[in-house]
A and B are shown apart, each in its own frame.
Chain A
Amino acid sequence: MKVLREIYDFITGGSIAAPIGLAVAILAVILLGHDEFSSYVFITLILLTLLAATREKTA
């Protein structure tokens, strides 16, 4: 369990918001298609993920 936690922290920096936000952004593109609009949605969601990650408790 501790090893899994270490791997998770190594990849995400201990953030919970980052993987969730990224998954939502990828899902949005899959659902919306590959046009220009979905690229804007994708980038906006990544920016919102960064915002959410910076609002988390300091690691």
Chain B
Amino acid sequence: MNGWVLGGTTFLASAVEMVEAATIVLAVGITQGWRTALTGAAWALLALGVIVAILGPVLARQGAITWLELIVGPFMILFGIAWLRKAIWRAAGRKAMHDEQAIFDREVAALQSARDNRVGFATSFQGVFVEGLEVAVIVVTFAATQPLLLGWSIGGAVVAGLVVGVAGFALRTPFSKVPENAIKAIVGLMLLSLGTFWTGEGLGIAWWFGDATLFSLVVLYAAGATGLTISKRWSIAP
């Protein structure tokens, strides 16, 4: 398995989740001060780091063995379907696009009425932790099946977190122009393809082209998702 595939997937997953988290941290920073916002975010990142630091190496030490693929693979498939179907719904117009500006305005309005700094801390912590938890689970599960590539999957997530964090702090506005839905669709496709590949391996399927089968799966699922999006658009159109 190529490290770029795993690192790229965790990078994109982390980037899109951190964009959402950054909106909440920005709202807290503007209404309740940057110290509160950044302290909450830092504690959440620390908690996520502890989860990855404890579970990642433990699972990585087990080696890439069949039973781990059979546990991790189905999780990846379910995560992938969850990400991909939301992206399809949004692309087809069945679900509203994720609007960072609207979320930011809503958070600011809610936080302005709260005088207590603890509310800001909790909001910031929860925003980063909840958005980051899925990425942490993805990184840990990647570690379980591809222990030699643990650094790649952690690295992808950390780099994305840093890029979004620095950009968010420099710009201090919500990232309303990031193509979140397209990124979510790519992450969904990658999770679904990796999950299918690993579950199949765990079940004893000898994939047609070895590791290269993964790319066939990505193409196949991308075609399927595109077809579903087009058919949903037609069914919704008046």
B-contact bits for A27-51, CB 8 A (1 contact / 0 none): 0011000101011001100110111
Q: Are B85 and A53 in contact (CB under 8 A)?
A: yes
A-contact bits for B81-97, CB 8 A (1 contact / 0 none): 11111101100001100
A19-B78, A46-B196 given; A39·B207 CB < 8 A: yes
Q: Please, how many angstroms separate the alpha-carbon atoms of A46 and B193 in the complex?
A: 10
Chain A residues within 8 Å of B77, by CB? 18, 22, 46
B49 on interface, CB distance cutoff 8 Å: no
Shortest distance in angstroms between B135's beta carbon and chain A's nearest beta carbon? 13
Q: Are B203 and A29 in contact (CB under 8 A)?
A: yes
Chain A residues within 8 Å of B83, by CB? 13
Shortest distance in angstroms between A37's beta carbon and chain B's nearest beta carbon? 10
Chain A residues within 8 Å of B74, by CB? 22, 26
Chain B residues within 8 Å of A36, by CB? 208
State the 8 A-B residue pairs at the shortest beta-carbon distance, nearest first.
A13-B82, A34-B204, A18-B81, A29-B203, A39-B205, A53-B85, A54-B85, A47-B224
Q: B residues touching A (Cβ–Cβ < 8 Å)?
A: 74-75, 77-79, 81-86, 88-89, 94-95, 133-134, 192, 196, 199-200, 203-208, 217, 220-221, 224-225, 228, 232
Instruction: List 17 additional contacts besides A13-B83, A50-B224, A51-B228; criterion CB under 8 Å.
Output: A10-B134, A11-B78, A13-B86, A15-B78, A15-B85, A22-B78, A39-B208, A42-B203, A43-B217, A43-B220, A46-B77, A47-B220, A47-B221, A50-B84, A54-B232, A56-B85, A58-B94
A-B pairs with beta carbons under 8 Å apart, 30 shown? A10-B133, A13-B81, A13-B85, A13-B86, A15-B81, A18-B78, A18-B82, A19-B78, A22-B77, A26-B74, A29-B204, A34-B203, A34-B205, A39-B207, A39-B208, A42-B205, A43-B220, A46-B77, A49-B81, A50-B85, A50-B224, A50-B225, A50-B228, A53-B82, A54-B85, A54-B89, A54-B228, A56-B85, A58-B94, A59-B86
Q: A residues touching B (Cβ–Cβ < 8 Å)?
A: 10-15, 18-19, 22, 26, 29-30, 34, 36, 38-39, 42-43, 46-47, 49-51, 53-54, 56, 58-59
